[in-house]
Amino acid sequence: MVKNKKIVGIVLSGGKSSRMGSEKGLVEWKGKHLIEYSIEALQPICDQLVISSNMEYYNYLGYPIIEDEIKECGPIGGIYSCMKAVKADYYLVISCDVPNVSFLLFADLLKHIADFDAIFPADKDGRRQPLIAVYRSSCKDIIEKELFQGHFKMMRLLDLLQTETFQISEELPYYNSKMLSNANSPEDIDSL
């Protein structure tokens, strides 16, 4: 774990939710809004938490809402805007639609970041999950350059950073087969 470093959690909830048909983070699952699960995954290990959103729906949660400084550029813009608004050494990023992520995963990511710019989990098929990740503050300049050059793809960003992949396996004490599953549609909610 990183000691004496400021850790800020960023919950990404600025998407259009077009497949969901309503604001994704406010969809109820097992008695809570999806975004509340994401907050619970960050809260225990973050010094501060912010929500990346262009909506006021989330004011009830009591966390600062950071609007995208550069509009219509997806998650990379939300991450950048939050990094610019709140100074930290590490940023723990999670999307608002992954209710099965444990804070223990983020604790493991922090333990294994070493000298890398970013670390994120990969599923059993090796798919990287850049929206459940830890980014160093040094990534902000690279993200800014990408944005101003019109490059908005997260996977492209990962190729520019020194990254580490944390393999999700059944041996993890907090393993859940749906841990990295997200909900983009009502059908996805049913399969969580």
- Residue ranges for the binding site? 12-14, 24, 68, 97
pLDDT of residue 40: 98
DSSP helix/strand/coil, 37: helix
In a domain, 116, yes or no: yes
Give the C-alpha separation, 140 to 70, whole Å.
14
In a domain, 180, yes or no: yes
- Residue ranges for the binding site for Mg(2+)? 97
How do residues 85-124 score in pLDDT, each as one tens digit?
A: 999 999 999 999 999 999 999 999 999 999 999 999 998 8
Instruction: State how many domains the chain has.
Output: 1
Which residues lie below 8 Å from residue 66, measured CB to CB, with a gap of 6+? 50, 51, 52, 53, 78, 81, 82, 85, 86
What is the residue range of 44's domain? 7-191
How do residues 26-82 score in pLDDT, each as one tens digit?
A: 889 999 999 999 999 999 999 999 999 987 889 999 999 999 998 889 999 999 999
Q: Residue 173's domain is classified under what CATH number? A: 3.90.550.10
User: Hey, what's the torsion of the CAs at 141, 184, 72, 9, to 10 degrees?
Assistant: -30
- Residue ranges for the binding site for GTP? 12-14, 24, 68, 97
Helix (H) or strand (E) holding 51: strand 48-52
In a domain, 124, yes or no: yes
In a domain, 1, yes or no: no
